[in-house]
Amino acid sequence: MTTPITVTVRYFASIREALGSSESCSTSAATLGALRDELIARGGASAQVLARDKAVRMAHNQVLSDESAPLEAGDEVAFFPPVTGG
């Protein structure tokens, strides 16, 4: 069993409107993708805005990352919808 770590999770744009701006999260997730799945498993608004059929971008320690990025204690993770210019 993996020892839980604590990461800071920040939400932006429409995801922020649904979930608030940020939270400290205890997780056993080893990657960004696994953390997303844990948040979806909470149900409610988290499940709706982070659902696998939704386009969601992720950043790990302020760098755009894919779901395979490994997590470590103290990391910052951000979730946001794709941004279009105009």
Residue 50: helix, strand or coil by DSSP? Answer: coil
Identity of residue 73: A
Phi and psi for 17 in degrees, rounded to 5? Answer: -60, -35
Identity of residue 47: A
Within a domain: 25: yes
Tokens of 77: 């993770």
pLDDT at 78 over 70: yes
Within a domain: 64: yes
Within a domain: 31: yes
Give me the number of domains the chain comprises.
Answer: 1
Average pLDDT over residues 66-74: 97
| 2-58 pLDDT tens trace | 789 999 999 999 999 999 999 999 999 999 999 999 999 999 999 999 999 999 999
Within a domain: 85: no
Instruction: Collect all residues with Cβ–Cβ distance below 8 Å to 38 and sequence separation of at least 6.
Output: 27, 28, 29
Domain that holds residue 58: 5-80
Within a domain: 58: yes
Within a domain: 86: no
- Can you give the CATH number for the domain in which 59 is found? 3.10.20.30
Percent of residues in the chain assigned helix, strand, coil, to nearest 5: 25, 30, 40
pLDDT at 59 over 90: yes
Within a domain: 28: yes
The pLDDT value recorded for residue 82 is 87
Within a domain: 62: yes
86 pLDDT band, cuts 50/70/90, is: low
Which element (helix H / strand E) includes 10?
strand 5-11
The pLDDT value recorded for residue 8 is 98
